[in-house]
Amino acid sequence: MSSRFDISPTLIDGVSIVERKPIGDERGFLVRVYAEDELAQFGFAGGIKQINHTLTTSRGAVRGMHFQHPPHAETKLVTCIRGAVFDVAVDLRTGSPTFLQWHGEVLSAENNRALFIPKGCAHGFQALEDDCELLYLHSAAFEPSCEGALNQSDPRLAIDWPLPVTDLSDRDRNHEFLDDKFKGLSL
């Protein structure tokens, strides 16, 4: 059987764009969201431990940049099922040649793209439309004691958000900027 995914690497090792190949006719379509055998070869191994569904109501709102510290670091497959978002991964892996670099990708209900984010990367997004919904497939369950986050406006990251940031949670707004003591995540 041929793959129902086209997977393209980005400049950050392990961060990949997953393009789904819908099958459709006059009744609608079917899109494979996840296939363990196909996605395991790209690093999503061990199955899904948690699935989250989010709604972001306001265009311009940013959620993130979140990650989990080891030993609860997680791989994510992020899909937009309604609206459109600018989805961002930041490499936090100690010793990585792309340490603190980011990759952004437009994910939308129409383009059938997902962003594959490996362990050791932070993740966040900006809603490009009102009422955006995302599905997150996680390789590890959320562990509050291992939660970490970056400030979305940290000048050291210099994320180029496509819209003015109009809405942030108090928690996300108050994350500290990185300093020279931050050496990354050792996986």
Would you name the residues annotated as active-site residues? 66, 136
Nearest-5° angle of CA 152, CA 154, CA 158? 90
Task: Name, in order, each residue with C-beta under 8 angstroms of 40's C-beta and a sequence gap of 6 or more.
Answer: none
**Cα torsion angle, 176, 166, 127, 55, sign:** positive
Nearest to 52 by CA among 73, 70, 71, 78: 78
Residue 21: count of CB within 10 angstroms of its CB:
12
